[in-house]
Structure 1
């Protein structure tokens, strides 16, 4: 069940299952947009047919939770940005290779990098390293950081956006 967990300030932090869901949807969306953009760049296809696999929801969701742990460990240790990017890149390749190997065992791996020059068993390609590095840092700065700060509040606790309070009187 998706739920939030109580924090010290009376607000509720988003629970791991809800964060898993958001990371999964975010990754799925980015992959569909990337494949649509790739199709346009390669084939000039204005239909922009993006695609993914339902497996990607779990793959990206779990990866997002793991990246939270990597981020926390790096933050506590004062690891600089570029080194964090390398740590995320290592995680991405390990996770993509592992999940691809597992899915391939069941005939369900939706990706195949064998056409790339620097592929490893068709499950990962080193040619995507700059892209994965960049995406991982964007994930840290935009998605991970903001998702960890989100809190559930009741209507009474939410601060108005323009500094004024609007109350509706029942008629």
Structure 2
């Protein structure tokens, strides 16, 4: 599980940097500077827990799977954000300025992105199975 935690952590960080850079392009910044926080590594690494959900959801449609991943990711983002802010006193993200924000911890307009991220991690899980990287 440790190797997969690291793989998911780095994959998440890379996706976030790409996403933030793409959003900057949409705002007219052709430098496309992307960034993240190292605090996000354990959050993305915890996607290793989605492997169990993925195995259960295999027979379901892509819409059902993506929807469930979206809900689970929103829950993880909300609770990890709450812990970061209220226990650790750090703010790796703060969505308070968004009209789609829920307590500044999640943004409902990010649902399509989380839908895709869940499916991307599902494909990564399948690749790890085929490469036999699921054993630690």
TM over 0.5: yes
Deviation string for 1:15-69 (max 9, x for gaps)?
x1001100000000111111112122214242x321111111111011x211101
1:24 lines up with 2:12 in the alignment: no
What is the distance in 2 between the residues matched to 1:44 and 1:125?
22
Higher fraction of helix: 2
- The answer to whether 1:73 aligns with 2:73 is no
TM-score by length of 1: 0.72
Q: Which of structure 1's runs of 4+ aligned residues deviate more than 2 A? A: none
State which structure, 1 or 2, has the greater radius of gyration over its C-alpha atoms.
1
Superposition pairs of residues 1-171 of structure 1, within 5 angstroms? 16-46=1-31, 48-62=32-46, 64-75=47-58, 78-105=59-86, 106-141=88-123, 143-151=124-132
Q: Highest relative contact order (Cα 8 Å, sep 6+), 1 or 2?
A: 2
| Greater fraction strand | 1
TM-score (norm 2): 0.89
Give the gaps of 5 or more residues in structure 2. Answer: none
Structure 2 CA distance for aligned equivalents of residues 109 and 70 of structure 1: 28
CA RMSD of aligned residues (A): 1.4
